[in-house]
Chain A
Amino acid sequence: MGELLLLIISIGAGFLGALLGLGGGIIIVPVLTLFYGIDIRYAIAASLISIVATSSGAAAGYLKDSLTNLRLAVLLEVGTVLGAVVGFLLASVVQQKHLFLLFGSFLMFSAVMMLRRREEHLTATNHPWAEKLKLDGSFPNEHGQWQTYKIQNVPIGLITMFGAGILSALLGIGSGIFKVLAMDGAMKLPIKVSSATSNFMIGVTASASAGAYFLKGDVRPELAAPVAVGIILGSLGGAKVMVKMPAARIRKIFVVVLAVVSIQMITKGLL
């Protein structure tokens, strides 16, 4: 019975994740560890698998959106993948209680970030690296007109992506929050472009450590299969009803839930 419930919870996690623009990992890891009492290392591996699934599905549509900056994604993937390699190596030495503390802190940070209003910080000049690699681009704005943009602080972006990769492998998350923070905050990309490019990159980041966990034997099919299937189905549903749901209100409720779960995770890490 627990298995069927897990499938239903995973569908819910995928649905909510798509609705709020979050990965399913932020929901599924706490559910598996706090509710089911599953070892956090199995939960992290299962979560990474589901992130690869949803992100690969989303990346398939990049041709249509005209928002994803493929050239920038390739450059930043160098940072995230190398970070994921380091994160995977760290995961084998970090104690379980520290993973709980780190995850709890990440949830609290995510809750605070969800309350933040994202603002455009566009720039008129390119960083030399962006100039050399022709990373700037254009996208269709809300009026349907093509708007050009430039990119700043490329090295800061790369360093942040490295950190995002470490956290992804350590905690089983997509690290989208850090990716968009670097892209629309430091690199001055338009919000729409940074969100689309982040979603496009998440699958590659997650697969770096998911592949390693898989070959290590930590991806257990009895757990990871229903979680992945549930999150794929849920995210498909979430994306379809997105425009009809009161996302702002759900977001506020979810911030409170995140804060409570964060305290629970931190407490578990301290005990």
Chain B
Amino acid sequence: MEKRQDSLFKLELIISQVLRTGVLISGTCLLVGWLWMWYHGGDIYALKFYEEHSLLEAFQWALLMQNRGFFICMAGFAVLISLPLIRVFMTGVLFLKQKEYLLSVLAFGVFLALILSFSLGLEL
């Protein structure tokens, strides 16, 4: 019993560490990427008017312009956005280990809803 409690506590600790490390990594990527883009003449005032550009188009453009800052920032965003996803998944595993099956189903349901939500961005 004590061994099981111990492994659950370890899992909670891992969730906490993943979140902390993830924020640190993404924050660093965003800072470095932004400074890079800014140094090479990025301009926020170009965003006064909305333009429909898919992520793929933005990637192609950045590749063409060799905009490394853009890719570093994108890596930072990807890490950041995936953190709650990881947290929800690990919470599902935590409940599964505690034999709390209903809560585990709910957590995995939230995980799937998040995936569904992300995919809507690709379709529109």
CB–CB B109/A78 < 8 A: yes
| A-B CB contacts (within 8 Å), total count | 189
Residues of the A chain whose Cβ atoms lie less than 8 Å from the Cβ of B84 = 52, 55-56, 203-204, 206-207
Tell yes or no: A228 within 8 A of B by CB: yes
Residue of A nearest to B86 (CB): A56
CB–CB A74/B110 < 8 A: yes
CB–CB B44/A81 < 8 A: no
Residues of A within 8 A of B (CB): 2-3, 6, 36-39, 41-42, 49, 52-53, 55-57, 59-63, 70-71, 74-75, 77-78, 81-82, 84-85, 88-89, 92, 96, 132-133, 203-204, 206-217, 219-226, 228-229, 232
Whole-angstrom distance between the alpha carbons of A74 and B52 in the complex? 35
Specify the main secondary structure of chain B where it touches its partner: helix
CB–CB A74/B91 < 8 A: yes
CB–CB B48/A37 < 8 A: yes
CB–CB B106/A42 < 8 A: no
- Assuming A74-B107, A133-B103, what are 12 further A-B pairs, CB within 8 angstroms? A36-B44, A52-B80, A53-B26, A63-B12, A70-B91, A84-B117, A85-B116, A88-B117, A217-B56, A217-B57, A219-B77, A222-B46
CB–CB A56/B87 < 8 A: yes
Whole-angstrom distance between the alpha carbons of A2 and B58 in the complex? 23
Specify the main secondary structure of chain A where it touches its partner: helix
